[in-house]
A and B are shown apart, each in its own frame.
Chain A
């Protein structure tokens, strides 16, 4: 315990020095590692991953290379602040709702490209990853139709290397379908002027459409899953919590942030923050942005006694990615208190009460 306290003191001191303009402190690290999924049936696997630790040593972000290079874990002072045990969770971009490829009209099966993959071990292939420096990680990977071609629209099967036999397979040709997008992820920790935590995780993603003609009317979300203990919701702007709300077009909303917290005082939680006005220009006729939150327990529903996760994240209607037209956006994962997160996002503590 004493050793831990000394280490914490040292880390905070170095962080303070960094705040005075010194070079990267020694605690910023970026390195290859492995990660053990914690949720059945994936516990039989061990995944390659990259770990990015902030310069203060307070937070470590894990990016799973078996599941599309997606953010799968974010620990703050050793406490898990997100829920990422399978490709349907995590914090990741996802497309949905193209009416032409939605055979059930809002029901269970639609064309649903996302970063991590599909269920039942259908991870998205990753092409390459590099630690550009101690505080910058870049990953390039593909995308997967979460619903495995059930909409009837299918772009392609991934080809995988099967390690034991050293053979390649077109795995699961009836269920595992890629989406023709590449997602480039650049992750870095940026200083939090508020000071606690010392840094926030910033993720810059570029989505490129590799298909010659695919041009769908997508909705878009940063799908955010957090542990079940985080259940008290707060957002800004407060009224942008459903689609098509007045004053919630992207041009109206420079900053959109929402989070879930363990306490009514909103001191401990995870928030997601995006900048719709600058990063989410829309191509559709009725643009709308909002923070969706769902405090019913995941994955098995409100009645599940083993409640694992709640969801929170920014959504947008009509966020198409035409061929050869990149979409680049930043999103931030802000752990700690709502007051600090909201002030970081809006620059105005008065907005955050």
Chain B
């Protein structure tokens, strides 16, 4: 931006990485592959607390662990193991194989973005690499695409030299992984892990005859195999376009009651491929039983993306198969962001982001500390919720509706039906050309207490309960702003809404001037 140099950049005072839906949790952790050092990782626990999925952020953000009732069903001890998609230069893996986790030398694929993006969901973006680390002699593009992992802080002894990873070669593709747990209609388990993948070819010209290889490594004691349709065991048996589901698993016992299966729909995921099949293998050295879902001719044209879903189904084979045969119904993703703004003393306008696979949306509202109830269905953004009470705080969330049902809720936002003095709709919260006055404080007190009511908290009492105007009016002081801030922070925290750091925090008596920016920030907090 033109005024970049004078931007004010504040910090978040309070921000919870954890994102929750019922019992679902998501957050950063560590993962230590056998024989390796500690890796930074991100985990997702299903709402029932039965399963935890861990994604190794040093090795490309791939699924390195999936525990069900404490029992591990994935092996993540090498860049060649875990659960990860690969693309190979069909029919041979050489000279060029795109890997999700990293290369043959255990150098991990970079992860430029990872986050708990919504309740019960995380999003990882990975820069893919050549598994053969350039040794295959891939010639269409010289092997000079070194992967760069740059470190930003520049503190201590780090000078950013040597960060270019020697002998490692990037592939010009990015992989986006969205993970969440979806209900299993034939529980147990109550949930299955769904992984939505999207691969993007960033290269202007590269288009290769890839095969797609979805490889999963399971524990060494998972010796019993399962496959459906049972004839999809060779490269020529099953046509992708006519195979609605392909599911394969590995189990500890002959009855196939304890293990893990992987399911996708070739008909939708691999529609342009020719055949789809499963491959079983054993790697004694890495102590893992492998299972792969393979597809021929899955080209990714330059500057295009392809996306598909894979399910990791722990527990019994029979229940996993039932889920696959039913088409794996799952609700769409939740809208990722929602924003509510009062447009009058009795109306609020709500907007929200669209969701993949949504056919409609349900808007839900909470007030007075109560639960969320539907107020509009079907609804589409922007939606105006009219007929509301003045000077009241309302909270909103939205759910996406799809063939698989309603999604998890979106992020939540509040709006308070107060119109503020000197508010310019073209520049809300900015108070351009205005000076701080009594009405600003009085209105904010009313609004903050409305937010507290919505949070189920008692209303705050204030120093100088009445702010007088005129020549002998009340001097607006530090304590007035401090009280509003602390009351608002407590309410927003109680509501699970993020709280940003305030300008001039703390306000220093005798030093800080009470400014319109202080008022504007508080208005943003109550809206």
Chain A contact residues, CB within 8 Å of chain B:
32, 34, 41-42, 44-48, 65-66, 88-89, 94, 96, 99-101, 103-109, 112, 117-132, 140-142, 146-150, 152-164, 167-180, 182, 184, 186, 204, 206, 208, 210-215, 221, 223, 225, 292, 294, 298-301, 308-309, 311, 323-324, 326, 328
Contacts and interface: CB of A to CB of B under 8 A. Distances in A.
Q: Which of B108, B150, B162, B176 has the most CB of A within 10 A?
A: B150
Nearest to A294: B2
In the complex, which of the residues B38, B141, B200, B430 has the most CB atoms of chain A within 10 Å of its own CB atom? B200
13 contacts: A89-B5, A107-B430, A120-B9, A128-B146, A142-B112, A146-B4, A147-B7, A149-B12, A155-B115, A172-B152, A210-B125, A213-B354, A324-B304
Contact of A211 (B3, B57, B176, B303): B176
Contacts of A125: 110, 112, 127, 148-150
The 5 A-B pairs at the shortest CB distance, nearest first, are namely A299-B5, A128-B170, A156-B113, A298-B5, A127-B127
A104 B15 contact: no
B228 interface: no
Given A150-B12, A176-B152, 7 more contacts: A42-B154, A66-B151, A129-B146, A142-B113, A155-B117, A159-B58, A170-B28
Contacts of B163: 48, 66, 161, 163
Interface string B84-126: 0000000000000000000000001011111101000001110
B202 A206 contact: yes
Nearest to B114: A156
Contacts, number: 301
Contacts of B6: 298-301
A162 B40 CA distance: 12
A142 B174 CA distance: 10
Interface of B: 1-12, 15, 17, 28, 37-40, 57-58, 61, 108, 110-115, 117, 123-125, 127, 141-142, 144-165, 169-172, 174, 176, 178, 196, 198, 200, 202-204, 303-305, 307, 333, 336-337, 339, 351-356, 411, 426-430, 498, 500, 520, 524
A342 B151 CA distance: 40
Contacts of B15: 149, 174
Contacts of A308: 5
A67 B508 CA distance: 36
B57 A168 contact: yes
Contacts of B149: 125, 160-161
Nearest to A324: B305
Contact of A117 (B40, B115, B152, B170): B152
Contact of B152 (A66, A130, A309): A66
Nearest to A88: B4
A201 to B, nearest CB: 18
A89 B125 contact: no
Given A130-B141, A300-B5, A213 B148 contact: no
A186 B302 CA distance: 14
Contacts of A214: 336, 353
Chain A CB within 10 Å, residue with most, of B4, B40, B156, B158: B4
Contact of B353 (A44, A182, A213): A213
Contacts of B303: 206, 208, 326, 328
Given A48-B163, A150-B10, A174-B11, A159 B430 contact: no
Interface hub of A122, A126, A164, A309 (most chain B Cβ within 10 A): A126
A349 to B, nearest CB: 30
